[in-house]
Amino acid sequence: MKLAVVGGGSTYTPELVDGFARLRDELPLTELALVDPDPARLGPVAGMARRMLARAGHPAGVTATASVAEGVAGAQAVLLQLRVGGQAARDVDETLPLECGCVGQETTGAGGLAKALRTVPVVLDIAEQVRRHAPGAWIVDFTNPVGIVTRALLSAGHRAIGLCNVAIGLQRRFAAALGVAPGRVSLGHVGLNHLTWVRSVRLDGAEVLPELLDGHGEEIADSVGLDVALLRRLGAVPSYYLRYYYEHDRVVAEQRAKPSRAAEVAEMESRLLEMYADPSVDAKPELLGKRGGAFYSEAAVALIASLLGDRGDTQVVNLRNDGALPFLPDEAVVEVPAAITSAGPRALPVEPVEPLYAGLIAHVTAYETLALEAALHGGEERVADALLAHPLVGQASLAGDLARRLVEANRRHLPWAAGA
């Protein structure tokens, strides 16, 4: 089988290749096509990928191209992991909102909206090329903001599914705490991408979340950046991204006191690309573990294997709501456990969602609806409306000021604003 990775010059890619090498029995890969417009990244990453596969004795060939059409042609699955504007744009996403007293984060709040504005049109163009050159291929989106990007793809009629590593990361953490194999642990995971709660953890079908919070609460709370007292009161584990809502002011103060994550990652990426260019390096560097994306490769391999192999197993993915959360519109994209077959994902039944969570989920879903409208149709007023609807902004004068600043900072990435 052929798999194409758009954004294949990402420093994440060797993490993905490592998964292909280790899990070769799950995914019979014969060709890995890396697609990226930047030859300074694509060349070293493709060379690294070839050496890693050769070291593992994996027979798959690696091709590298700047052409989306060429790269995706004949692929059974296309993985999207791109970043429009690179780390420079991410730095603006993380620092500009702080100037206005808002959280600076590349997927959440004002920064997440800026990323969506840049990303959605590019992804839709790529998806149309997939439709033409690889009809029937699954598009697996790992590009943030995953919820909005996946909704854009599904609304345009593409065969798409969104993937995030938050759920698999928590599953692995809980399994390690319990001292069991990860496959024995399942999660009652509910919400939107980067806005989820784990309300149930089952070991071989038996509930163990209270036991985890009693015996490992401090460790779990530390991993999501929240107080253990809150987790025990909720009887649930919020994802790390809920920290931006539950501890907004503290997070803003912390962010203002240190360099942006984009600046840290840019420095890491420079070092990683140097390593990838070294012909003697044929194993995933330890530094890559600090880059983020833990268990990304395992989640991607499992999802693609199930979509192509009709396995029917349960995985946490981003998919069209279609009644899974009855208080949301059908066209919303939710992140919940689903059965994965060759026909696509089917959400499993979800226990009724408590008002404490449902209110915030509905609020952010309304924002995502307006964010997608702004990304598809442009206009500073649409950007301001999306910000006004976001619970981390929500003030008219602030939303208007942020909209003006975001459009100006991203003008060269927004065709509708380029001539304004």
Q: Is the peptide bond before 352 cis (omega within 30 degrees of 0)?
A: no
Q: Is residue 376 a contact partner of residue 353, using CB atoms and an 8 Å limit?
A: no
Sign of the alpha-carbon dihedral angle for 340, 31, 141, 125: negative
- Rounded Cα distance, 189 and 197, in Å: 6
Q: Give the C-alpha distances (Å, rounded to integers) separating 395 from 60, 385, 386, 410.
A: 53, 10, 11, 22
Judged by phi (left if over 0) then psi (alpha if -120 to 50, else beta), residue 328 lies in beta
Q: How far apart are CA 26 and CA 331, in angstroms?
A: 32
Sheet holding 138-141, edge to edge: 61-65, 31-35, 2-6, 77-80, 138-141, 160-162, 313-320, 333-341, 344-347
Rounded Cα distance between 70 and 133, Å, is 8
Q: Under a CB-based contact definition with an 8 Å cutoff, are residues 195 and 244 in contact?
A: no
**C-alpha span between 80 and 150 (Å, rounded):** 11
- Burial of 70 from C-beta contacts in 10 A (0-12 / 13-18 / 19+): middle
Q: State how far the alpha carbon of 208 is from the alpha carbons of 200, 224, 282, 288, in Å.
A: 8, 19, 40, 32
Place of tokens 């919020």: 238
Residue of 241, 276, 357, 367 marked catalytic:
241
The reply to whether 241 belongs to the active site is yes
Cβ atoms within 10 Å, residue 27: 19
Phi/psi for 137 (5° steps) reads -70, 145
Catalytic residue positions, numbered: 241
